[in-house]
Amino acid sequence: MADAARGKPMPHQGIFEPWTDPVAKPLIQFQNVTKRFGDFTAIDDLSIDIFEKEFFALLGPSGCGKTTLMRMLAGFEAPTTGTILLAGDDISPIPPNKRAVNMMFQSYALFPHLSVYDNIAFGLKREGMPKLDIHARVEEMLRLTRLERFARRKPHQISGGQRQRVALARSLAKAPKLLLLDEPLGALDKKLRQDTQFELMDIQEKTGTTFVIVTHDQEEAMTVASRVAVMDEGKLIQVSTPDVLYEDPRSVYVADFIGDVNLIEGKAKPSGDGIDLHWAEGQPVLHCKTAKPFGEGQTCHLAIRPEKIAIHSQEPEARNKLCGKILDIAYLGNISTYHVELPSGHVIKAQSANTRRIARRTFTWDDTVWLSWTDTAGVALER
């Protein structure tokens, strides 16, 4: 998650939060939408509001219904029950070609008989745009996606990542009000992906387009999105801003899905401003601040991020501390993740920045170390 905090331009935070404004009109509204294929339910009674100028990310495991959701917005599938409103109007009677929506397909769906240039120009030509304007616009898109050299090629003559960029350029070309991107950057290398993410955010800032983007890369979701929706089996599990999703997940599923996390299961005991967690024989009780009401003896999961756990060679002064042996060290360049095995057999992950060269690392395999964290570092979850 090293890049998560970095990428986001600040104006997104604090200022742009239409979902907290009770009078703001959503651009897209899903109202109790269910989509069934035969007797399989792909989207299950889903309701959500997406606002204008949002960068809305859909995150979820394969087959959870992300593409289906987008296809309903683009007009290729109709909801089995429920309604979808676009700017307040039911969109079900509007055919795909009349919707001010463009979609980038997960399979790219490039026209194999047309060159890269003509693929990108396709939508503009249908619009009846003057030739010169089309040319200028296509050139701009080619530049943006760094495909200038490949303009004359056919889709089968370029690489997978290049194809993905053509698909992206083609959907961007018409500058629609609503843009649906189904895994737009998955095939790109990290550097190009980050650059493209910033380009997308830039386009969004300039044109005010509303983006709905599917991604399997949670780092990407956190970088670009104004809000992230975590889905599972056709349902929305949590919809929040990336920071809330990361810092304050509402369920173990979300905590586990987004980023790396230690999950400690135990029995809660209300104590002061939070709970005490009794979780293993012979291990110290852990304290966690929480506003949620836990009953005495209720099952509780403490979710704590590895980077919020400090690692020491001597016993520290701290509310929560555990002692264990280093089992494994994952060196990731800028940070290292230490897997620390406790006497109870649990393995806790702790992360620290590699401020010194690797040869001068403080800890090594089999060292006995102390882990500590504050009582606000973790989140207590009921399920």
Partner 1 sequence: MRRFSWFNATSLTLGFAFLYLPMLILVIYSFNESRLVTVWAGFSTKWYGELLGNELFLDAAWVTLKVAVISSTIATVLGTMAAYVLVRSGRFSGRTLFSGMIYAPLVMPEVITGLSLLLLFIGIGLDRGVLTIVLAHTTFSMCFVSVVVSSRLISFDRSLEEAALDLGCTPWEAFRLVTLPIIAPAVISGWLLAFTLSLDDLVIASFTAGPSATTLPMRIWSSVRLGVSPEINALSTLLIGIVTLGVISASLVSKRNLMRQQQDEQTAARTA
Ligand X SMILES: Nc1ncnc2c1ncn2[C@@H]1O[C@H](COP(=O)(O)OP(=O)(O)OP(=O)(O)O)[C@@H](O)[C@H]1O
Residues that bind partner 1 (CB under 8 A): 74-76, 95-97, 101-103, 105, 107, 109-113, 122-123, 126-127, 149, 153-154, 156-159, 162, 170, 174
Q: Which does 42 bind (CB under 5 to 8 A by kind): Mg ion, ligand X, partner 1, none?
A: ligand X
Supply the minimum distance, in Å, between the C-beta of residue 174 and ligand X: 23
Supply the minimum distance, in Å, between the C-beta of residue 61 and ligand X: 7
Q: Is 164 in the site for Mg ion (CB under 5 A)?
A: no
The per-residue DSSP string of 95-154 comes to -GGGSSEEEE-TT----TTS-HHHHHHHHHHHHT--HHHHHHHHHHHHHHTT-GGGTTS-
Cα separation, 194 vs 197, in Å, equals 5
Q: Which does 333 bind (CB under 5 to 8 A by kind): ligand X, partner 1, Mg ion, none?
A: none
**DSSP three-state, residue 359:** helix
The two structure tokens encoding residue 179? 């843009």
Q: Which does 377 bind (CB under 5 to 8 A by kind): partner 1, Mg ion, ligand X, none?
A: none
304 and 371 in contact (C-beta within 8 Å)?
A: no
Supply φ then ψ for residue 68, to 5 degrees: -60, -40
Pick the closer one to ligand X by CB: 40 or 97. 40
Positions that interact with ligand X (CB under 6 A): 37, 40, 42, 60, 62-68, 106
**DSSP three-state, residue 320:** strand
Q: What is the signed CA dihedral for 190, 182, 153, 162, rounded to 10 degrees?
A: 10
Pick the closer one to ligand X by CB: 58 or 264. 58
Pick the closer one to partner 1 by CB: 145 or 162. 162
Pick the closer one to partner 1 by CB: 107 or 299. 107
List CB contacts of 114: < 8 A, sequence separation 6 or more: 122, 154, 155
Q: Which does 25 bind (CB under 5 to 8 A by kind): ligand X, partner 1, Mg ion, none?
A: none
The two structure tokens encoding residue 208? 């005010």
Pick the closer one to Mg ion by CB: 72 or 381. 72
Residue with the shortest CB distance to Mg ion: 67
Question: CA angle 160-165-166, nearest 5°?
Answer: 95
Supply the minimum distance, in Å, between the C-beta of residue 241 and partner 1: 30
Q: Which does 68 bind (CB under 5 to 8 A by kind): Mg ion, partner 1, ligand X, none?
A: ligand X
Supply the minimum distance, in Å, between the C-beta of residue 186 and ligand X: 10
Cα separation, 199 vs 197, in Å, equals 5
Q: Which does 365 bind (CB under 5 to 8 A by kind): Mg ion, ligand X, partner 1, none?
A: none
